[in-house]
Amino acid sequence: MIFFMSTFALTLHAGYRCRSSGECCETWAVPAEPHVLHVVQARQIRRTGFHGALFVEAASPRSGALWTTARDEHGGCAFFDRTGGRLCAIHAAAGPDAMPGACRHFPRTILRDARGTHISLSHFCPTAAALLFEPVRLAIVEVGPPLRPSEPIEGMDAARALPPLLRPGVLTDMEGYAAWEHASVGVLARPDLRYQQALAVIAGATERVRRWQPGTSPLSYAVEDAFERTRSQPSTYSLDQSRAMRILRAISPTGAQADLVHVEPFEQDWQRLVASSFAAFDRPMKNFLAARLFGAWIAYQGQGLRSIVEWIRTCAALVRHFALQQARVTQSAPGLHEMVEAFRKTDLLLLHGADSRAFAREVLAIEGR
């Protein structure tokens, strides 16, 4: 299906350009669709100095891709030229449209629904992670290429799905859901709120929105009223760190679970090692949470708005987990490098390891309270 609808992104991602860090090329073997094999064979594309097989049979074929790109002796993609500008040989020889779909899209995460195409980024990509620290006013804007890739675009296709649920048994409408998403991003953009306070405002306003009844005023009006009535929340708001880590262990691959052990005393160690320096990373944290809320697949996988709020709470908890984990090793407050790595590790797990559908099942009980 070809879409001629608007494409949206956060301002902090709108200027994204690949800077060839190569992290994606050295992390995964990616499916190679038939057109990729054809282009490589027809143009005899091969990385200089690499003499092995370029493709191997896929262990679990998907989307018609019976092959994956081969790996070299360093574990990187056979087409990744780490000494020649850190470029992809396919990209260099035939352009981005000739690359495997996963490579064309990374680090984009994409949702398509009746409103249009929504593009966020995975901050496992170091270039995307760096954008979290840019002094850009946070908002949702319309974008085009190069952030918007050429068709076909892969992601969650909810264009013909019903709108997200407000609560179990009650749907939002697209205008109302868009208003809630925009209002939530607006809260995270507020310079007067720390990230914990912003989460509290979003959660409090969402509880007001959930009380809306069909047949009354439009849902978008109820959203506007709820966020206006909930402009501030107590500064003592805290995350349930142990609960978040239990959920994450339940939805993560077996190999990742050892890295998700919750160690007490968490809050005491956080205050001792991290809290004094974390104010410098408050805006990047809010940017990160906005990126995980905007265009979130969980909106269509969960049973209501509470599930999305729980999702971003869990995202914040995981960043905290990785930041403190490193601080405990060094017995010192995290600096810029450590926080970049905390965001990268969080998205590596959340977007490339954990199962968001399983997350929706794990938090289903909160929707019925």
Task: Report the pLDDT value the prediction gives residue 307, as an integer from 0 to 100.
Answer: 98
Say if 362 falls within a structural domain: yes
Asked which of 36-40, 71-75, 223-227, 286-290 is least confident by mean pLDDT, the reply is 71-75
Task: Report the pLDDT value the prediction gives residue 1, as an integer from 0 to 100.
Answer: 41
| Average of per-residue pLDDT across 17-39 | 87
Alpha helices in the chain (DSSP H): 11-14, 34-43, 89-94, 101-105, 126-131, 174-188, 195-210, 219-229, 241-251, 254-257, 266-273, 275-278, 282-293, 298-301, 305-330, 336-352, 356-362, 364-367
Residue 235: pLDDT band with limits 50, 70, 90: low
Residue 93, CA atoms < 13 Å, CB-side half-sphere: 18
Contacting residues for 358 by C-beta, under 8 A, at least 6 apart: 250, 251
Say if 2 falls within a structural domain: no
Which tokens belong to 363? 């938090």
Say if 39 falls within a structural domain: no
Query: For the chain, how many structural domains are there in total?
Result: 1
Residue 31, preceding bond cis, omega within 30 degrees?
A: no
| Average of per-residue pLDDT across 201-223 | 96
Q: Residue 322: which domain range?
A: 165-367
Q: At what angle do helices 219-229 and 174-188 cross, to 10 degrees?
A: 20
Say if 48 falls within a structural domain: no
Which tokens belong to 12? 């902090």
Q: Find the distance separating the first CA and the last CA of the chain, reported in whole Å.
A: 39
Residue 236: pLDDT band with limits 50, 70, 90: low
Cα dist from 51 to 28, 46, 70, 78, 357, whole Å: 20, 8, 11, 9, 41
Say if 340 falls within a structural domain: yes
| Average of per-residue pLDDT across 233-259 | 87
Say if 71 falls within a structural domain: no
| Average of per-residue pLDDT across 147-168 | 94
122-153 confidence digits (pLDDT tens): 999 999 999 999 999 999 999 999 999 988 88
Residue 65: pLDDT band with limits 50, 70, 90: low
The mean predicted confidence, pLDDT, of the chain is: 92
Say if 288 falls within a structural domain: yes
Say if 237 falls within a structural domain: yes
| Average of per-residue pLDDT across 65-74 | 86
User: What does the alpha-carbon distance between residue 135 and residue 138 come to, in Å, rounded to a whole number?
Assistant: 9
Longest CA–CA span in the chain (Å) reads 69
Q: Which has more confidence, 237 or 182?
A: 182
